Structure 1
């Protein structure tokens, strides 16, 4: 970085990029914190740590870290269940776990997580986020659980229609969403201002000018909001629910950060990401955030993409963005207190919709139907149950789908002279295909000589081996010669009472 900074043009571009990222990050840091049920300043603390701590660490030089909309739902549920004090303990433990995973080289293994599961996870988070923030747009308390939020929508619609204050708040939030949707269509000179900042600024200005009776962000001050976890707060990690939340934090934050790194690497020609080092950098950041009682952090694709598109060349831009956040929080805290909550909710509704891969669903269903099913099931499971259970279900379904797809099996029956039947089984014989194999074999006549040729199998698992041996022993009538079994080489040991011969041509 120091070598590059000798070039004044690089220095100038990095400073300008840092200002762009700061303006993008500011409303998102505040909005994520408010939606998570914690003081707004804690979102800024996480953004500051993402710049001034993680920004100096190796891993990905252009990726920007901070509080993410993708963790909002999980943080909100954790705060509601365990309290804000326990949040710091969970985030700190999650950071230490990320450090350990990175140190032991697990960073690259996060790339092996099914993309459909990750997309389904983000889609499920996006749906829950949208459903929850629609209530916040109307300055109304949101029901708990995804199904509760769905069931409450008719009542919310009635309140918006019949109550003037609720309608006013909802219109401000809807106006914020409209600005964000239309912002990319404005001229380049207008779009020099980041869309989230422009949307929140316009909504705040309209609220002040028209003197609208809307709920505003509560401001406590940066130092007053920081609350390091006490020893009692770590007791939550002794329970199953606390451990499940810890694992969910770690899995989602790590996966989102590393998938973001892969996406950002495709946007620039600079050094590639070291995944283990990036995972450790995120671990350091979350450990510090946890020690301060702040929100968990991830690498955020929106801020990272803005950094690259603004012309950043070194990690200086992400470091400076953290400095600008610190100066703003320290010198202009009152500016946060004039922002209407409905506007921040509108920003997060838009962010939630962006997490749902609507455009990719039709091509995915057309070309990879199994992946589309995994994505949809994961998203719906998160909406119906919770984030951790939905992700676990998605991972299990992805594993089962993969095992099913690689278990290609073909059973061919040929009749030779003299009435002998030759049954050739090729492919991969696993327990997933066992019902199909046995159905076809048990339909063969019992009064004919049969030769079962397994030499074409590439894989034969234990369940199939035992079932095929038992079938060979018991299928034919007593007066018919035993089934002759031709096993894969070294795959099926000699079964007592079965007439075997090996061909030497089978594949183990």
Structure 2
């Protein structure tokens, strides 16, 4: 009688439901609470700075945790409303109205999904770092310029130039009016607390400095009955801004389509650049860029249907997640659950937060985006890269985010093309002949230099032009060489031209 051995079958897993290891549950639970505490003031602050109801920022944070947190792509990244998009959102709401925001965000999400499915996510890593840094610096400058006005109790002006021109009046108001003075005191105190908190013992730093600053300053404002404007909070369901038929009708207008493309590109770039930075902080599975782009698109599509703010992967929350000891995706999913629980059970707590304090949080975020130390280092080591950075940031401040970023990309491409198309020319003169050797890349950008060398050669000598060491000879330079040689031969001069094996 033979005994039949059967290989035991692995336990079945329910489709689409991840299994969280029990060994890491405690670490993920603790990390989720830290990320939640970081996310609450930032979600509200970004919404207020964008000119939309505070609840919409919380909605985006919830979607970023419960939806994007479950999707494949990244393990440690945490998504939510980002300070870097406040400029875009405020501009879109001002131009198209709050009703069109959902349509724009939904459209941007669809574009992101298409980019991810087309496997174009990894191409975002090819953008020049100086352009990215310039983009972030420009966003930081615009953010700071806008948020100094709520500190003084004033509404921020519409354009960058009016923000700059209004600074003298802002200073007078901050010093002379009760609301301006109170807001200035609370904002400065919040910034001091966040700065000092970095130096406290590590155990205390498990509580985020931003949360400590918000709690302390809000308590001071309430106890001292300071005359400051505070966050206005209502029902989460009532705040949902689901697009109407009129809003859908604007989808075909060029202005809205331009906003959709801008939102998609900037949000994608910020998320994937954040992924590259966060991946260097941990030894867990690295980000799959195309899948992460699809996940971000799905989150933005849902936020658009709800009329909420757009989302990106946010470096502040993601870094807090890693530093708090997160092990799996569960930490970012739970952070979304805590946000939902908080806004359902304790929405009135947000009404105690002064807007000047939220402005201080965003001013600090804008300052971090500037990264002045890296800018100074870049100026010392690579002046051409520093020029691209400064130009990008300046154009963003002077015009808008899309124009500034495209200008930076254009200059970076031209700079790279000039640097790559280096052409070396050496000439050896004999009694009756001249041997000219060229190397490098002969492109149209070097055509004037190439022609100058050829036209200076003596007409009385035989010329041997050796281009075999040229790595790339484009059509413009090839035609120029042939035309020059033909002219020389018509003048009874002898010319030999040795071309490279491949001509572009």
TM-score range, shorter chain: over 0.9
1:339 match: 353
Unaligned runs of 5+ in 2: 1-16
SS at match of 1:410: strand
User: Using the alignment, how far apart are the partners of 1:79 and 1:337 within structure 2?
Assistant: 23
SS at match of 2:206: coil
2:426 to 391, 412, 416: 412
Asked if 1:459 corresponds to 2:469, the answer is: no
Moved more, 386-395 or 21-30: 386-395
1:428 match: 441
User: Using the alignment, how far apart are the partners of 2:354 and 2:144 within structure 1?
Assistant: 18
Moved more, 155-164 or 393-402: 155-164
User: Using the alignment, how far apart are the partners of 2:43 and 2:440 within structure 1?
Assistant: 53
Asked if 1:484 corresponds to 2:500, the answer is: no
User: Using the alignment, how far apart are the partners of 2:459 and 2:355 within structure 1?
Assistant: 76
Alignment of 1:264-275 (within 5 A): 264-275=278-289
Task: Note closer, same or farther for the CA distance 1:224–1:157 as it changes in structure 2 (3 Å cut).
Answer: same
Query: CA offsets per residue over residues 190-247 of structure 1, 9 Å max, x none?
Result: 3232011111111111111111110111112211110211232133332332222211
Alignment of 1:306-385 (within 5 A): 306-385=320-399
- The CA deviation at 1:174 is 2.0
- The CA deviation at 1:482 is 4.3
Q: Are the equivalent residues in 2 in contact too, given 1:90–1:234 (CA < 8 A)?
A: no
User: Using the alignment, how far apart are the partners of 1:234 and 1:400 within structure 2?
Assistant: 39
Asked if 1:288 corresponds to 2:302, the answer is: yes
SS at match of 1:417: coil
SS at match of 1:63: coil
| TM-score normalised per structure 2 | 0.93
User: Using the alignment, how far apart are the partners of 1:177 and 1:50 within structure 2?
Assistant: 27
Aligned residues: 488
Asked if 1:121 corresponds to 2:128, the answer is: no
1:18 to 17, 32, 38: 32
SS at match of 2:112: helix
Asked if 1:437 corresponds to 2:453, the answer is: no
Q: Are the equivalent residues in 1 in contact too, given 2:66–2:336 (CA < 8 A)?
A: yes
Asked if 1:35 corresponds to 2:49, the answer is: yes
Task: Note closer, same or farther for the CA distance 1:39–1:162 as it changes in structure 2 (3 Å cut).
Answer: same
Query: CA offsets per residue over residues 269-292 of structure 1, 9 Å max, x none?
Result: 221211111111111100000000
Task: Note closer, same or farther for the CA distance 1:406–1:227 as it changes in structure 2 (3 Å cut).
Answer: same
1:210 match: 224
2:94 to 72, 77, 80: 80
User: Using the alignment, how far apart are the partners of 1:427 and 1:259 within structure 2?
Assistant: 33
User: Using the alignment, how far apart are the partners of 1:218 and 1:274 within structure 2?
Assistant: 39
SS at match of 1:423: strand
User: Using the alignment, how far apart are the partners of 2:450 and 2:405 within structure 1?
Assistant: 32
- The CA deviation at 1:391 is 0.9
1:6 to 15, 22, 38: 22
1:64 to 58, 63, 78: 78
User: Using the alignment, how far apart are the partners of 1:166 and 1:439 within structure 2?
Assistant: 66
User: Using the alignment, how far apart are the partners of 2:312 and 2:18 within structure 1?
Assistant: 26
Asked if 1:472 corresponds to 2:485, the answer is: yes
Q: Are the equivalent residues in 1 in contact too, given 2:55–2:234 (CA < 8 A)?
A: yes
Unaligned runs of 5+ in 1: 492-507
Task: Note closer, same or farther for the CA distance 1:270–1:226 as it changes in structure 2 (3 Å cut).
Answer: same
1:301 match: 315
User: Using the alignment, how far apart are the partners of 1:398 and 1:467 within structure 2?
Assistant: 27
- The CA deviation at 1:455 is 1.7
- The CA deviation at 1:3 is 5.4
Q: Are the equivalent residues in 1 in contact too, given 2:472–2:502 (CA < 8 A)?
A: no
Moved more, 249-258 or 464-473: 464-473
User: Using the alignment, how far apart are the partners of 2:485 and 2:158 within structure 1?
Assistant: 57
Moved more, 216-225 or 292-301: 216-225
Task: Note closer, same or farther for the CA distance 1:441–1:217 as it changes in structure 2 (3 Å cut).
Answer: same
- The CA deviation at 1:59 is 1.0
2:290 to 247, 269, 276: 276
User: Using the alignment, how far apart are the partners of 2:41 and 2:466 within structure 1?
Assistant: 67
Task: Note closer, same or farther for the CA distance 1:483–1:235 as it changes in structure 2 (3 Å cut).
Answer: farther
1:150 to 157, 161, 164: 164
Alignment of 1:132-281 (within 5 A): 132-281=146-295
Across the aligned residues of Structure 1 and Structure 2, the Cα RMSD in angstroms comes to 1.8
Moved more, 344-353 or 141-150: 141-150
User: Using the alignment, how far apart are the partners of 1:163 and 1:4 within structure 2?
Assistant: 55
Q: Are the equivalent residues in 2 in contact too, given 1:145–1:384 (CA < 8 A)?
A: no
